[in-house]
Every structure is written in C-alpha cells, then in structure tokens.
Amino acid sequence: MRWIRNHMNNSRTSRHVLFWLCWILGFTFIQSFGQPVEAYLGWFSYYVITLPVFVGHTYLVVYVLIPRFLNRRLFYLFILFFIVAFYGFSVLELILSNEFIFRWYPTGSEIGTRYLEPRNVIISGLGNLYIVLVFLACRITRNWYLAENERNRLRQEQLRQGIDEKMTKVQPAMLLYAIEHIEKMVERSEKNVTSAIALTSELLHEVMTCHGEKQRPITKEIDLVRKLVSLVSLFREKEPEVEFFLSGDPGRLRLPPLVLFSFVGFLYRHLDHHDTLPEINIEASGFSRMVTIQILDNGAKGITESLESCMQSIRQLEDSFGTQVTITYETRHYGCSVFIRKKNPNEERLRQGKTFYQPADVVHRV
C-alpha cells in the first residue's frame, strides 16, 4: 500500500485516472441508490460513455481558459469562451444521453422531446460545471499542500542552516578539543589550568564575534592563530614550533574569518594523539595577497603521517571555505605546502604547486 501511495503521489497520470474513476463510481452509486441492479449498470454505462465530454470540458476550462485568459486578466475573453464551452458541452452531453444512452441503457430516465431548449441546456450545464469545480478544488488543494510542504522544507532548511551557522561560530570541534584537554589538566592538577580556561574563553569570544565580518585582515587572523598556538602549548609538554612571516603591506590581504585559524585547528586535532607536532611556517604576503602554510616534518614521525594529516586538514578546509577561497597545495619530501587566497571569479584558479615567494621583511616567532 505504501508503494501504491508513493506511486500515486509521483505519477500525474495515475492521480487523474484515480480521480475520474472515483467520480464514475461515486456518482453511479448516488444516481442508482435504492434502485435495481440494472440501474447501477445503466448509470455506470452513462458515466463511462459521457466521460470524454466531462473530461474535455473540465480540462479545457482548467488547463486552457484559466491559464491563458483568467490568469492574464483577459476577463472578457475568459467569460466569452467559458460560456461557449459551458453551452456547447452541455448540448453535446444532452444529445449523447437522450439519443443513445437513455434509449439503450436502463437508467430510469425519461427521454425528453424538447431536451435542447435553453432552459434544459443550462440545467444540464450546471451539472457539468459541478465536476469542473470539484476538479479545480482538488487541484487547488493539492497545489496548496505541495506549496505548504515546500514552505516547511524551506523553513527546516533555514533552521538547519541557522543551526550550522551557530555551531560554526562556536567552533564545536575546537571547543570540545579544548574542554577535553582542560579536563585532563584538572585531573593532573596542573598549575596552568586557570590560564588554559581563560585563554579558551577568550578564543571562544573572538571566534563568535568575528563572524560578523565578511572579510578579516590577515593580521587579526594571525593574532587569533597565535592564541590558538599558545593554548595548544599549555596542553602539551613541548611548545609547537610555529613561525609567522609578513611581507609587503599586510593590510592588502583580507580573507574570510577563521580560514587560517580553522586550518591550524584541523591540523592540531588530527595530530592530537602524536607525541610531536610538525613545524609550521605561515607566510602572509601583501604582494601576492596569498597565505602560504608550510607543514615541515621534523623527523620524529613518518612523512606519510604528516602528509595524511595535512591532506585531511585541506579537505576539511575546502568543505568549510571552498566557495570563498581558492585552496591549492603541493607535496614535497619534507611535508606539504598549502596556498590560500581569496576566490576571484574573474581570475583563473591557481594551478597546483605554483606560487611566488616574496622576501620577508618582518619575522615573528611564537
């Protein structure tokens, strides 16, 4: 039964066949109620034989006259053609009924001698108009139901997007990472627990507030990464080796918020269970308006693990920011390099492994 319902919902032809079948059976029962079986057969034959008349009249009004004239505010033409169709199909139904059906099928109806008088035509046309109105009501009800479902779907989608946006704002994976390590610090009664809590709170506040910015200066992004590195250094026995290089005018380089922060966070979480972390060099060039991140294997762990962690972080960054920035990379025997720049639809995508290095005039070390 479920398959039948789904098929009926998805098949326009099946819905129409079901409607007309219900109409034939329903009105046959109404017209023949309380009469002999022959009357049922007679009225069933009547509705089957006159079905093309009713279908033609209904579809002409619903699918031709209403869309082409009424919806376009051509009221006079709509009224004219509606009256012509109303009278014409009523005459056709009367001729078919009185000259053929009532003569050969036992419906209990009398054959009129002047059945084509305007009065009789109008009365018969009102019956034909009834089925047009029923069909139109069913169609409007279905369209309303589909529109309501679509509105509900859009509301659900907007709600999910809102939730995703809120979750992105608080960086849940990074927050859980920090909470997990703070709990471990509390269990070990380490003296830096208070500093770790304060720094986590500060990071969370900055991450949430910076989402109001469409583009963020690279200097602010680097400051945020510095705090992240400081937090990671509180969680580990050895301070991560991270160097920052600024070249040219850093003010010319603006990227979507949290691009650099997210990538470094992805990388550290992937390497969380390793004893050592690779060396990271981050260069922000105001000349090329690009950020270059080098992940260098320090020899304490295999190059394969370093590359795998780097590639996983790149994929996560593309999933989060792929529509806003262009991300390319190259692999070497020492590790990998990642290049990030603001996406520009008027420029060709950077080819993998090609970039320009500018001499750094300012060097910062964490």
pTM, two decimal places: 0.49
Q: Is the pLDDT of residue 4 over 50?
A: no
What pLDDT score does 357 carry? 39
Mean pLDDT of 352-359: 42
What pLDDT score does 285 carry? 86
Band (pLDDT 50/70/90 cuts) for residue 130 is confident
In sequence order, which residues have a C-beta less than 8 Å from that of residue 258 and are 6 or more positions away?
Answer: 171, 207, 210, 211, 216, 221, 224
pLDDT digits (tens, 9 = 90+) for 225-258: 898 888 888 888 777 888 888 888 877 888 888 8
Task: Supply the angle between the helices 259-270 and 218-235 in degrees, to the nearest 10.
Answer: 20
Mean pLDDT of 250-274: 84
Q: What are phi and psi of 6, to 5 degrees?
A: -60, -40
Mean pLDDT of 69-73: 83
pLDDT digits (tens, 9 = 90+) for 300-311: 555 566 678 888
Band (pLDDT 50/70/90 cuts) for residue 116 is confident
Q: Is the pLDDT of residue 145 over 80?
A: yes
Chain-centre distance of CA 248, in angstroms?
41
Residues 218 and 254 sit within 8 Å (Cβ to Cβ): yes
Q: Is the pLDDT of residue 107 over 70?
A: no
Element (H, E) at 51: helix 51-60
CA distance 362 to 360: 6
Does domain 170-365 fall under CATH 2.40.10? My reply is no
Mean pLDDT of 319-335: 83
Band (pLDDT 50/70/90 cuts) for residue 8 is very low
Q: Is the pLDDT of residue 112 over 70?
A: no
Q: Is the pLDDT of residue 54 over 50?
A: yes
What pLDDT score does 119 carry? 82
pLDDT digits (tens, 9 = 90+) for 195-230: 888 888 888 878 777 766 778 888 888 898 898 888
Band (pLDDT 50/70/90 cuts) for residue 161 is low
Residues 7 and 14 sit within 8 Å (Cβ to Cβ): yes
Burial zone of 237 (CB within 10 Å; 0-12 exposed, 13-18 middle, 19+ buried): exposed
What pLDDT score does 106 carry? 64
Please report, rounded to a whole number, the percentage of residues in the chain having pLDDT higher than 70: 81
Where exactly does CATH 3.30.565 map onto the chain?
A: 170-365
Q: Is the pLDDT of residue 77 over 80?
A: yes
Band (pLDDT 50/70/90 cuts) for residue 297 is confident
Q: Is the pLDDT of residue 92 over 50?
A: yes
Band (pLDDT 50/70/90 cuts) for residue 364 is very low
What pLDDT score does 241 carry? 87
Element (H, E) at 243: strand 242-247
